[in-house]
Structure 1
């Protein structure tokens, strides 16, 4: 009878054990955990791999505080990896009490210089992050490795000098190189401490020994712990991937004086300023003295009580704080009285083996074998079901049904417009990081092979849900754009949180890469003029020939792709907007690149076709001068456009023009310069349309290739084509009439000094 009773008990225990094991089986790489109160809705992912994700950070929309605190958990890695924003920078550690984030930081510059012993001896680059992050002043430093180099580090709005260091490689009288020390102290390697925590830095490397026929250097931004092994001067042994510590703030304003900060949700939290913020402002939240935890969630800061105050008794065990109530208990693996010294005793292993334990072991082993064999199959089915449901959710969320309806109504859109996530994962080897070919303000671009064609797949940053409908309409509009100077949109995938766009692949790089090469020789003047005309044709087509006008909003040399024949292709429509035909413009959030951005659009937020005209004018200035608009500054603090126009008015434009094209051109430089000045007028009403700019460039090319220049205000050639010719005096008069002193002051103020 006892045997039967024991068997029934064993069976009951086995069933319960199975249910518990099923509940404890891992599902996916990281099980989502409910967010703390005030830290997003339930179901927020709070870990990725071995990294915790505390609020205000989060992965899913609604689970993080604001833009900048959004993260991406890439589960294609084993273990999963965590990235900032859209996935370009890997996160190694997040600390809420310290208000820091540690990230992977590869080398800033790794280059060689070989100019035959003369010529260019200076190299410039930048390092930066976006709000709410700043380079930490506590532990970081800049390392430079090379021979006979001086490195200057500048930062802030005023481009202040933060630090400087020099590295040399001395030799003895016999010409043998002296071995470097184990520390980075100036022999083959030097370092600059970060004493001002800015978000952006300018780095300038000067090569000091002009007698060397070649030289090379590597620049790194690292925190206090880095790997460095000294060796011969020609071998650089700092690891190419290091860690950098970033400070962050919850707001870039000051702490409220009339009450608590809205971000500090815990009752025992307060608003405070970072311990070191000489290079930036903003505030953080912290738990008040006597408590610890997360101040950004309700009840996140808990009281720390000494053990002798628990219930008026001394706690000799483990003191636990549950929602503000303290409990004293014996440590794990012990039992007894935790309020008595030595009152907790170790649990001894029983040496008595009963019939019940034997049967429990046998039945338990059988059930575990069944679970081991059938568990993987069940888990695969559950995962497959979850993936399918997630794809359906995102497809509906991204208005995929709306896009299907629009495609069915418009026969001009190809049936291949809708592409599945499975196809894109196969095309990119599951979005392998080695397939990344570019990135920018709007997302990351992967190279892939789809239907035996090489394509570029753009993974955009998170889109606000209320703009999804407009995004779908823009996809429909851009899918109908068919122009030889516009990168063709081939399709899109709506089965991810952020829609993926598929474009034709252009293999020859960007105009920026071809124009700003090292050395005095760049693109010939004929190619620059032709590329400018092709860009003008593309913009004119987008503005006036499509079913709904499309404004690009981010025209710059790095967004102009060149094919193998150097034919221009306008790309990156991540910031573009379409405008209904019955409207002349819309008011929208300002997007674009400083240096190319229309000042009137920047201040009013009103987007029109003349905003693209201004950016095109800046592009013309860049083609004429080979200067970079976003970094160029004169000694007086003027930007490239204002300095260009000033020299044009004074008749001294030759001082700024690229010397290479002065030798190549046949008198078109001043014509193009006047067009650039007209396109960059402050008042949008004074600028030409893109169609007018296109016609003027076409006339210049016709005149250059077919007819001689006749000194007349305007006329028509034998092909009935309008020809513009101006003397130097007329150029100066025209430019002076376009810009007044008041315009110059306003234009100068639009560019930060």
Structure 2
């Protein structure tokens, strides 16, 4: 029995066509895209400002996403402003970073609650609570925050409330120390920490709990509580004697006051997705059925700013095909084809390109050798094909 080169090529061409229809591997991102509206400033100092946020007139989606860039300092710093629902003045939050779903901001005084007992009243000893109210804004206090309380026999009571869901909540955190210690550690002696659940209203109040130590007077007069990102105060150590003064602790422990506040953001808490919510080649996701609003993301195979429009990724720039494969970019994806003399899907992590056997038209092959050749060139690529499918399913 004889087999010609032409017959072999025809058979393997059929395999080639079959494997080109296999599933595509998710492409890497590599296209350069515009993240701000045309003519708008993209950075303030060291912070990128992506749309829907914006600096200057007509550069943000609406007033809730306006960013003020303070160029009077070096480097310049961006600020987000908002008004509490019961306030008549504006709060300014320094912007540290903006991600696709969160914004990291800082206002040490707004994040701080303080109590000093038995001390003359002045600007440095006035007791005050922490009140964070983001109702009717696109922002919600993230569950990536925690409350840290520093003091001796001091209880911080946290009240949480959502104006949209009418869900109430409350937690407490008690810091305790003894007069035999000189060093406070967090979380441990003189410090208490507890996580905060997602909410758009939070109120923190400090209470004197000296009676739990069965003392007639307080061991140390001052206590402090701060709301900020989880994890930044790991292994925090401080001198307990700093709590004997209204300013010493804050002066000597800058990291306590320097933690950013994490806010989740979305578009319009009072609406959901519609046909015009997002830009070209992007999809809309309703943010949270309890809090309302929506976010946009680019479709698979596209990248860019989903609120302005996403662009196709040219996966062929960083060739995802193997050495004997040719990459062909398509909208939202890509294909690989094999060079002449090879067959398969051409993809590195799947079948790749398998070389066709070299045959001569007038060479006779015995039955055993012919069957062995067919089995090898049929079973081997099928094995690689199913391995490729398994990788795609469980990757």
Whether these two folds match at TM > 0.5 is yes
Out of 306, 310, 314, which is 1:299 matched to?
310
Are the structure 2 counterparts of residues 296 and 90 from structure 1 closer, same or farther at C-alpha, using a change threshold of 3 Å? same
The 5 A counterparts of 1:317-356 are none
Which of these residues, 230, 233, 243, is aligned with residue 237 of structure 2?
Answer: 230
Distance 1:84 1:124, change over 3 A: closer
Question: For residues 509-520 of structure 1, what are the structure 2 equivalents within 5 Å?
Answer: none
Q: Partner residue of 2:43?
A: 47
Choose between structure 1 and 2 for higher RCO, CA contacts under 8 A separated by at least 6 residues: 2
Give the secondary structure class of the aligned counterpart of 1:106: coil
- TM-superposition CA deviations, 1:486-537 (whole Å, max 9, x none): xxxxxxxxxxxxxxxxxxxxxxxxxxxxxxxxxxxxxxxxxxxxxxxxxxxx
Kindly state the Cα deviation for residue 111 of structure 1 after the two structures are TM-superposed: 3.7
TM-score, length-scaled by structure 1? 0.32
CA contact (8 A) 1:84 1:91 kept: yes
CA distance in 1, matches of 2:49, 2:69: 10
Report how many aligned residue pairs link the two structures: 269
Q: Distance in 1 between matches of 2:107 and 2:39?
A: 31
More helix by share: 1
Query: Counterpart in 2 of 1:92?
Result: 96
Q: Quote the residue 2:171 is aligned against.
A: 163
CA contact (8 A) 2:303 2:313 kept: yes
2:312–2:331 CA contact under 8 A, matched in 1:
no
Within-5 A mapping of 1:419-438? none
**What's the CA shift for 1:288?**
3.5
- 2:278 pairs with 1:267: no
Aligned-partner Cα distance in 2 for 1:95–1:217: 34
- Write the distance in 1 (CA, Å) between the matches of 2:75 and 2:129: 37
2:320 pairs with one of 285, 305, 308: 308
Name the CA distance, whole Å, in 1 between partners of 2:47 and 2:237. 33
Q: Deviations over 1:635-691 (max 9, x none)?
A: xxxxxxxxxxxxxxxxxxxxxxxxxxxxxxxxxxxxxxxxxxxxxxxxxxxxxxxxx
Q: How many Å separate the matches in 2 of 1:159 and 1:128?
A: 14
CA contact (8 A) 1:149 1:167 kept: yes
Show the counterpart of 1:132.
138
Q: TM-score, normalised by structure 2?
A: 0.58
Q: Counterpart in 2 of 1:194?
A: 196
CA distance in 2: counterparts of 1:303 and 1:218, whole angstroms: 53
Q: CA separation in 2, counterparts of 1:92 and 1:244?
A: 9
Q: Distance in 2 between matches of 1:309 and 1:249?
A: 38
CA–CA separation in structure 1 for the residues paired with 2:238 and 2:99: 36
Q: In structure 2, how many angstroms separate the alpha carbons of the residues matched to 1:135 and 1:61? A: 27
SS in 1 for 2:320: helix
Asked if 1 retains the 8 angstrom alpha-carbon contact of 2:115 and 2:128, the reply is no
Q: Distance in 2 between matches of 1:265 and 1:314?
A: 32
For 1:191 and 1:220, locate their aligned partners in 2 and report how far apart those are by CA, in whole Å: 10
- Secondary structure of the residue aligned to 1:79 is coil
1:123 and 1:253, CA in 2 relative to 1: closer, same or farther beyond 3 A? closer
Pick one of 96, 111, 116 that aligns with 1:112. 116
Q: 1:290–1:65: structure 2 CA closer, same or farther, 3 Å change rule?
A: same
1:47 & 1:322 partners in 2: Cα distance? Answer: 32
Q: Does 1:286 align with 2:297?
A: yes
As a proportion of its length, which structure holds more strand?
2
> In structure 1, the residue corresponding to 2:297 is in which secondary structure?
strand
Aligned twin of 1:78: 74
Cα pair 2:113 2:224 within 8 Å, conserved:
yes
How far is the alpha carbon of 1:241 from its aligned partner? Answer: 2.1
SS of 1:201 mapped into structure 2: strand
Q: Encode CA deviations 1:529-549: one digit per residue, 9 max, x unaligned.
A: xxxxxxxxxxxxxxxxxxxxx
Go from structure 1 to structure 2 and tell me whether the alpha carbon gap of 1:161 and 1:267 turns closer, same or farther (over 3 Å shift). Answer: same
Mapped partners of 1:326, 1:311: distance in 2: 16
Distance 2:222 2:302 in 1: 52
Distance 2:95 2:258 in 1: 13
Offset, 1:46: 1.1
Q: What is the rounded CA distance, in whole Å, between the counterparts of 2:324 and 2:280 in structure 1? A: 27
Distance 1:60 1:115, change over 3 A: closer
Aligned equivalents of 1:308, 1:232: Cα separation in 2: 57
Superposition map of 1:595-674 within 5 A: none
- 1:83–1:327 Cα change, 3 Å: farther
Q: Is the 2:147–2:226 Cα contact (8 Å) retained in structure 1?
A: yes
CA 1:123–1:43 in 2, change beyond 3 Å: closer, same or farther? closer
Contact 2:113 2:205 in 1 (8 A): no
| CA distance in 1 between partners of 2:91 and 2:119 (Å) | 38
Unaligned runs of 5+ in 2: 1-32, 82-89, 121-126, 243-248, 337-345, 349-395
**Farther-moved stretch of structure 1 (206-215 vs 107-116):** 107-116
Taking only aligned residues, the RMSD between alpha carbons, in angstroms, comes to: 3.8
Deviation for aligned residue 1:191: 1.3
Residue in structure 1 matched with residue 383 of structure 2 by the alignment? none
- Superimposed CA distance per residue, residues 304-340 of structure 1 (whole angstroms, 9 cap, x where no aligned partner): 688435999367xxx9x99969899xxxxxxxxxx9x
In structure 2, relative to structure 1, the CA distance for the partners of 1:115 and 1:50 (3 Å cut) is closer
CA distance in 2, matches of 1:231, 1:192: 19
Distance 2:91 2:315 in 1: 38
Offset of 1:300 from its aligned partner? 5.0
**Contact 1:140/1:194, CA 8 A, preserved across alignment:** yes
Q: CA deviation at 1:81?
A: 1.0
**Residue equivalent to 2:358:** none
CA shift in 2, pair 1:252/1:87, >3 Å:
closer
Distance (Å, rounded) in 2 between the aligned partners of 1:51 and 1:323: 32
Query: Structure 1 residues 192, 303: closer, same or farther in 2, change over 3 A?
Result: farther
Secondary structure at the counterpart of residue 149 of structure 2: strand
